[in-house]
Amino acid sequence: MIRVGIIGYGKMGTIRHNALKSRSDVSVDAIYEENSTIEVPGGKRVSSPSDVLDNTDIDAVFVCTPNVFNMPYTKRSLMNSKHVFCEKPPAFTPAEVADIIDVETSSGKKLMYGFNHRHHESIRKIRELIDHNTFGKVLWMRGRYGKSVDEAFYSSWRAKKIMSGGGIFLDQGIHMLDLFMHLSGDFDVVKSIVSNVYWDLEIEDNVFAIFENSKTKVSASLHSTMTQWRHLFSLEIFLEKGYITLNGLKTPSGAYGAEELSIAENRTTAPAAKLSKKEVITYNIDSSWQSEIDHFIDAIQHKRDITVGTSRDALTLMTLVEKVYNNGKTNDK
């Protein structure tokens, strides 16, 4: 039996707890939530993060807090010989992630980061098609991920850079960048514009970024925005012999609509290229949260390596995130 403690019982803490309930080999024994108005079930509420982090009866810690606490709580848990599942972003800088990796290595414990988009069935299908070279190599990708926020956003911790570390790119766009890496590997060329054109906060409300792998010549463009006035997820992958597009994403809120994967193949020759076959698959169930939890718990139980959401992935990702922020121009209102 793996005894679990959860720090943070807002949206993500609740989602993780619900997924953990399906496991007969897991017991959630302690939950810390700072907001006293949020109900914690089953009399499991503890009075401080230390009641989870320093509890010798806890085997694994889920860090579901505002971003600023992700790095220190992860390190402290590892130093206390606990396995850790932490929400994204892993830290604010690559140097902080490298520091975490040092602690992880010396602890011998499992560390996994919550990038659940990789666990969507649609993304698994895309990865399978790419791995099997079904349509040849990837040529380029384009991703758009955005939402609308209102004035209530001003009072949330996500609007305060000291708490969040960044704006919409670190909140949402990081998932799209992680998918780019997952489907095509690393990038060494980064061009970006980081702007604050509407909300007039200390964090960005739009990022436009272009990435390239100078060896494979795979390019990708990303737009991360919270001035889109609607929720939208769109991922397009163009290959030598066809294309794959994913529009919509199944989420707990349902705000991104249906998760529809289009696969078009057998491209004719240019210039009047036509695609002779097209398949559309709609995914009605979001199993990504459960898949993440199962991967983490199974790695602990069976002494397997974490293969999705690793700290090495996190280091590569945050290195690119830092390049986007450093390379981008800030167009303040």
In CATH, what number is assigned to the domain containing residue 103? 3.40.50.720
Q: Is residue 308 part of a domain?
A: no
Structural domain containing residue 134: 117-289+318-332
Say whether both 103 and 171 belong to one domain: no
Contact 87, 70 (CB under 8 A): yes
Ordered mean pLDDT values, 10 residues apiece, the chain (333 residues)? 97 97 97 96 94 98 98 98 98 98 98 97 97 95 95 93 97 98 96 94 96 97 96 96 95 92 81 76 96 98 96 98 88 46
The full DSSP string for 97-110 is HHHHHHHHHHHT--
Distance in angstroms (rounded) separating the CA atoms of residues 63 and 159: 20
Q: What is the pLDDT of residue 191?
A: 97
Say whether both 85 and 129 belong to one domain: no
Q: At what angle do helices 174-184 and 121-131 cross, to 10 degrees?
A: 30
Q: What is the pLDDT of residue 270?
A: 67
Contact 114, 62 (CB under 8 A): no
Say whether both 174 and 36 belong to one domain: no
The DSSP symbol for 67 reads: G
- Tell whether pTM > 0.85: yes
Q: Which residue has the tokens 């998932």?
A: 175
Say whether both 74 and 194 belong to one domain: no
Distance in angstroms (rounded) separating the CA atoms of residues 68 and 157: 10
Q: Which helix (H) or strand (E) holds 40?
A: none
Say whether both 275 and 179 belong to one domain: yes
Question: Domain containing 279 — which CATH number?
Answer: 3.30.360.10
Q: Is residue 300 part of a domain?
A: no
Q: Is residue 307 part of a domain?
A: no
Q: Is residue 309 part of a domain?
A: no
Q: What is the pLDDT of residue 333?
A: 42
Distance in angstroms (rounded) separating the CA atoms of residues 272 and 270: 5
Say whether both 17 and 50 belong to one domain: yes
Q: Which helix (H) or strand (E) holds 331?
A: strand 330-332
Give which of 252, 268, 328, 260 is closest to 10, Cα–Cα: 252
- Secondary structure class of 126 (helix, strand, coil): helix
Domain count across the chain: 2
Q: What are phi and psi of 80, to 5 degrees?
A: -95, 20
- Secondary structure class of 198 (helix, strand, coil): coil
Q: Is residue 63 part of a domain?
A: yes
